[in-house]
């Protein structure tokens, strides 16, 4: 095989590998943000993408754990969708605001009405406010996604211990202890100071090159001027002429 053909084959294999690595992972039902603080309240968003080109998503069910129940659950209306918060009896009552609660929301169901279903290439978001958050490392929300053709995708696989992603991962909300470093710090809001820092950083990266280019230009210009003067003096000396400034003054 010629060197040219061998190079072409190697290039094709490298391109194919790059495309394989760049291929996006399949979208899942997720909870955003995926971290919160134990003992507090949080507004979370369940993001549901449509993963098929032949059917619409017509129903979404999210199960809340009854082992670590939430005393308060509020739902934000979504245009074109009905919502139902189903409660279940608790094996052990919980206390909230000085009262004993024997039941808590265990499942939330959103159902599309009319043309509101999630179509191919689209996604929908469902907001939920809940708390107080339990003192555990994470909360797993097992979800079911129903399509218009009757297919049900069960996002119920819990996180693995070896770090690999399961086939149908459930949305997971990780919880950090209150008072832990960074746990109570709000996310920095973008403002003029942030933009100024970003602009300075860009100018420093691209502008420093321009500064050095300008300095190099000045140095080269001065060097050219010196060489020109030396060449002029040599030419004058060769011809026997003496510069006017070197002639003695006449009396």
Please state the pTM of the whole predicted model.
Answer: 0.63
- Mind listing the pLDDT tens digit for each residue in 34-52? 999 999 999 999 999 999 9
Contact 127, 75 (CB under 8 A): yes
Q: What is the layout of strands, in order, in the sheet containing 152-155?
A: 81-96, 99-112, 57-63, 142-147, 152-155
Per-residue pLDDT at 163: 79
Instruction: Report whether pLDDT(229) > 70.
Output: no
CATH number belonging to the domain at 25-176, selected among 2.60.120.10, 3.40.50.720, 3.40.720.10, 2.60.40.2230? 2.60.40.2230
Chain centre distance of CA 61:
25
Q: Specify the higher pLDDT residue, 191 or 102.
A: 102
Per-residue pLDDT at 228: 59
CA distance 122 to 110: 16
Q: Specify the higher pLDDT residue, 31 or 94.
A: 31
Q: Could you state, in order of their start, the residue ranges of all structural domains in the chain?
A: 25-176, 208-238
Instruction: Report whether pLDDT(249) > 60.
Output: no
Per-residue pLDDT at 98: 78
Give the tokens for residue 41: 């309240």
Q: Specify the higher pLDDT residue, 152 or 218.
A: 152
User: Bridge partners of 89?
Assistant: 103
Q: What is the layout of strands, in order, in the sheet containing 138-140?
A: 35-37, 172-176, 138-140
Instruction: Report whether pLDDT(161) > 90.
Output: no
Q: Specify the higher pLDDT residue, 33 or 11.
A: 33
The phi, psi pair for 95, rounded to 5°, reads -105, 135
Please tell me whether the peptide bond between 132 and the residue prior to it is cis, using omega within 30 degrees of 0. yes
Per-residue pLDDT at 179: 80
């Amino acid at each position: 095989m010629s060197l040219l053909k061998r190079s072409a084959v190697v290039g094709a294999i490298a391109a194919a590998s790059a495309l394989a690595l760049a291929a996006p992972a399949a979208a899942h039902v997720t909870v955003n943000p995926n971290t919160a603080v134990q003992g507090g309240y949080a507004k979370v968003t369940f993001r549901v993408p449509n993963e098929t080109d032949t059917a619409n998503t017509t129903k979404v069910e999210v199960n809340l754990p009854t082992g670590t129940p939430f005393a308060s659950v509020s739902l934000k209306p979504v245009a074109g969708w009905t919502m139902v918060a189903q409660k279940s009896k608790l094996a052990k009552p919980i206390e909230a605001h000085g009262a004993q609660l024997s039941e808590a929301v265990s499942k939330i169901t959103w159902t599309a009405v009319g043309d509101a279903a999630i179509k191919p290439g689209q996604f929908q978001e469902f907001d939920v406010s809940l708390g107080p958050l339990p003192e555990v490392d994470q909360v797993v929300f097992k979800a079911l996604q129903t399509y218009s053709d009757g297919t049900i995708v069960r996002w119920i696989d819990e996180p693995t211990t070896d770090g690999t992603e399961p086939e149908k991962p459930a949305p997971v909300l990780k919880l950090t202890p209150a008072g832990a470093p960074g746990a109570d710090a709000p996310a920095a809001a973008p403002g003029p100071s942030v933009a100024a820092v970003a602009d300075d950083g860009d100018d420093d990266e691209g502008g420093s090159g321009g500064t050095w280019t300008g300095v190099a230009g000045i140095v080269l210009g001065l060097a050219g001027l010196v060489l020109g003067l030396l060449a002029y003096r040599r030419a004058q000396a060769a011809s026997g002429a003496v510069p006017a400034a070197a002639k003695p003054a006449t009396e």
